[in-house]
Amino acid sequence: MFVIGHKVFSKKDIRRVAGIILLLVAIFIIALYNRVSIDTYQADITLDEAGNMSVVEQWDMTYKEGLFSFIGLKADPMRVRFRDIGFNKYVDDYNFPTKASNLAYFDESSVDVSVFKDGVDVTSTIRIGYSFENDRDELGYPITCEPQSNYCESIFIDAALVGGLVGNFTFIYEYTILGAVTQYSDTSELNWVLLEYAESKIKNGQVNINLPETLSDMDDLYLWGHGLSNGRVSIESPSRLELTFKNMKQDDFLEFRILTPNSVFPNILSTNIFINPDINFELIYLYEDDLVRQTNQSINAAIVILIVSVSVSLFMMVFLYIYNKRHFKIFETEDFGDYLREPPSHHSPAEVGYLYRYKKTETEDITATLLDLISRDYIDIIDSKVNQITENVSYELRLNEKKSLDDLKSHEMQLIDWFFKTIAHGNSVTTKQIEDYSSYRVDYAREYLGESVKFTQLVASLCNQQDFFDSTLESHKSQARSIIALPVLVFIIIVILSQIFWVNIFLEILILVIPSVWYLYFISTRKRRSKNGQILFNKWDAFKHYLEDFGSFEDDPIPSIAVWEHYLAFATTFGIADQVMDQLKVKIEQEKMNLENSKFISNSYAFDSRSRYLYRRLHRTFDKARSNTNYRISQAAIQSSASSFSSSIRGTGSKSSSFSSRPSSFGSRGGFGGRSSGRSGGFSGGSSRGGGRGGGRSR
C-alpha cells in the first residue's frame, strides 16, 4: 500500500489507474493517427472569354507507414490515388431557377497528370488511368467517382511500381471544364466547389483565379467563399482573385462564387446564357448578403456561447477550490514523528484496516483477525511446528475452551462462530475445511458469502460508532453537487442557440462537459476522517512506518516474540507482512531469540521460505475460499438461467419478433471565419449551392 496525502492506495489500485491511462492514451493516438497528410494544395484557375475553366492543381502530400512500424509491425503501404472531378452545374436542391441545357463538360482531350516521389519525376513509371477511357483500377474494377455520377470523371494513379505510396509525393493535375460560367441578364457567374473531401486535413491552401483582362475597375467584381472555417478571399486586381486557407478539415468543402459584368465573357455559348426574371445580380447578391449576415450572427453567437461556457467552467473550478478548502480538506493535526514503536490504540486489526483504507475491509483483515486471536490465545494451532514444513499443509485450528470469549468484539466473535460453528460444527477446524467448504454445495457457498458480508458489516458498524469519519461529509457533498444544475442549464441553452444560429458547439460542449464530469468525480471521491480519526490515522501510519523500517534500528532491541506476533497481525492488515517477517528473521538470528513459546513464529522451519510463513498460508486459504464461493454461486446462477431458458422455449415455442428502426439525420453546415461583403474578408457560412464538387482519396 502507498499513502499519498493521507490517502491509501494499494498496488492493485495504482496498476488499475495506470492501465486505464495507458489504454486511453493508446485509443487517443490510434484515433488521431492518419497515414496521409496533405501539406499544401494549390490551384491556378484560368477563365477564358467563352467561360471555360482551365485548372492546374498541385497536391503536396506525405504518406506514412503504419502506426506501429517502429516496432516492426509494418502495414502494407497505400498504393493508389483517385482525383474525382465533378462538373455538374446544378445540385439537386439548387435555390434558383435552372436551365436544362446550361451544362458544363469535362474536356477529355486536355487532361494531363504528373507525379513526383521525393522530388523525382516518376510519371513515366507509374500507371495512370481515366474513368472516361473505361480503364480499370488495381482491383480490376472500372474506375469511377465515389459516389458514381454521370457528371464526374476520376483520374487514377497506381504507384505499385515505385514502391507504393510511401514518402513525399507531389501530384499535378491539369484539366479543363467547358461551359463552367453561366451568364444572366445583368451578370455572369462562376459558382463552383473545387473540393468536398480529401484524405486528411489540408494544412495550407491557395486558389488563384485569373479572369480575361477585359475589366479596368475592381468594383465590378464580387467574390465569396464558403465551406471553410479558416479562409480568406481577396480581389487582387481586375483580372486576379485569390482564396487562401489553413487547416481545411476533412468535412470542410472549398466553394467560391464570382460575379462579373457580362462583358468579361463576350464569347460565351448561347446554351450557357440563361435569362430569367427570378435570377439576376440583385437576387444573387441579396442571397450572399443574407449568408454574410447569418455568418456574422453566428460569429457573435459563437463568441457569446464560448464566453459563457468558459465562465461557467471557471466558476465551477473556483467554487470547488473554495468549497474543498472549507469542507473536504484533511484536518491538520500535530506531528507525531516518523515512527511510533507501539500500537497507538487498542483497536483490532480489522478496525485499523477500516480506518486506514477509509471504510474498506479486505481479505487481509480476516487473516489479521485470525492471527490476532491466535496471538491472544483464543485459538491454538495444533502441532504447528510440524505442520509448517510444507507450503500446502492444512493447519488445524482449535478453539481454546479455557479462554472466556466475553471480551471479544462483535466481529471477532462472529469469526469464531463462522469457522467453528458454521463450518466445523465443533471446536476444531482445518484450513482445508475452510477452503473447500463452499465447493460442496451451493447453499454452503451462499452461507460462506453471508458470513463474509456479516464480518464486513460488523467491522463497519463498530467503526462507525467511534468518530473515525466526518459525519457532515455527505451533506456537504450533496450541497456541492447541486451546483451541477448550472452547467446543465447552460448546456441546454447553447444547444438551442446552436440550432437557431447554426453554430458548431463541439468545443463549448467539451468546455462544459469535461470540467463537469471532473467536478462530479472530484466531489464523489472526497473522503475525510474526523479530527479524532485523522489523529488516530496519523499515529497508526507512524506505527506502520516503524514496522517497515525497524530492521534498520541497530540499537533497538526487539520486544518479546509474543509482542511481535501481535504486531504481525497489524502488518498483515497493512499489507507489509512479508517485509516485516524478512526483517524479523534477521533480528531473531542476530539476537538468538528462543521461539519455543511462540504461537506461530517458530524456528523449527528456520524462515527458509516466505511462502511458508503461516500468515501466507492463512491468506491463501481465505483467497481460495472466496474464489470457490464465487465460482460455486456463479455456476449455480448459470445453471438456473439455462434451465429457465429451456423451460421458456418448451412452454412457449418459437416466436418471431420484429424491431423497428427510426433513421436519424444530421445536417451539415459550412464553417465561418469572418465577414465578407463580396470584396475581401473571411469565408461566409452556409453554401452557395455551387456546381463541380469531387475530391481526393487514397487506398
Name the most confidently modeled range: 61-70, 486-495, 628-637.
486-495
Give the neighbor-by-neighbor strand order of the sheet with 379-382: 379-382, 396-399, 428-430
The reported pLDDT for the residue numbered 11 is: 63
Q: Are 617 and 431 in contact (CB under 8 A)?
A: yes
The reported pLDDT for the residue numbered 129 is: 97
Confidence of residue 15 (pLDDT cuts 50, 70, 90): confident
Q: Are 258 and 53 in contact (CB under 8 A)?
A: no
- pTM for the predicted model, two decimal places: 0.64
Average pLDDT (585-603) is 65
Sign of the CA dihedral with 599 first, then 604, 607, and 613 last: negative
> Who wins on pLDDT, 388 or 600?
600
The reported pLDDT for the residue numbered 590 is: 65
Q: Per-residue DSSP letters for 594-658? A: --TT-SS--GGGTT--GGGSHHHHHHHHHHHHHHHHHHHHHHHHHHHHHHHHHHHHHHH------
The reported pLDDT for the residue numbered 583 is: 78
Which tens digit of pLDDT belongs to each residue from 656-688?
333 323 233 223 333 333 344 565 677 777 788
> Who wins on pLDDT, 687 or 359?
359
Which tens digit of pLDDT belongs to each residue from 281-293?
999 999 999 988 8
Q: Is the pLDDT of residue 349 over 60?
A: yes
Mean pLDDT of the residues in the chain: 85
The reported pLDDT for the residue numbered 12 is: 67
The reported pLDDT for the residue numbered 671 is: 36
Residue type, 37: S
Name the most confidently modeled range: 175-189, 602-616, 665-679.
175-189
The reported pLDDT for the residue numbered 639 is: 78
* pLDDT > 90 fraction of the chain, expressed in percent and rounded: 61
Point out which residues pair with 397 in neighbouring strands: 381, 429
Average pLDDT (459-467) is 94
The reported pLDDT for the residue numbered 9 is: 55
Q: Which of 166-170, 240-244, 289-293, 615-619 has the lowest mean pLDDT?
A: 615-619
The reported pLDDT for the residue numbered 389 is: 46
The reported pLDDT for the residue numbered 75 is: 64
Average pLDDT (91-102) is 92
Name the most confidently modeled range: 71-80, 242-251, 547-556.
242-251
Q: Is the pLDDT of residue 335 over 90?
A: no
Confidence of residue 318 (pLDDT cuts 50, 70, 90): very high
Q: Is the pLDDT of residue 498 over 80?
A: yes
Q: Is the pLDDT of residue 178 over 90?
A: yes
Q: Is the pLDDT of residue 649 over 70?
A: no
Which tens digit of pLDDT belongs to each residue from 32-75?
567 899 999 999 999 999 999 999 999 999 998 866 555 555 56
Here the cell at position 233 is 478571399
Q: What value does the CA radius of gyration of the chain take, rounded to a whole number of Å?
A: 39
Residue of 391, 318, 450, 348 whose CA lies nearest to 605: 391
Which tens digit of pLDDT belongs to each residue from 384-400?
444 444 556 678 899 99
> Who wins on pLDDT, 65 or 182?
182
* pLDDT > 70 fraction of the chain, expressed in percent and rounded: 83
Q: CA-to-CA distance for 42 and 214, rounded, in angstroms? A: 25
Average pLDDT (160-172) is 95
Q: CA-to-CA distance for 341 and 291, rounded, in angstroms? A: 79
Q: Is the pLDDT of residue 613 over 80?
A: no
Which tens digit of pLDDT belongs to each residue from 431-457?
899 999 998 889 999 999 999 999 999
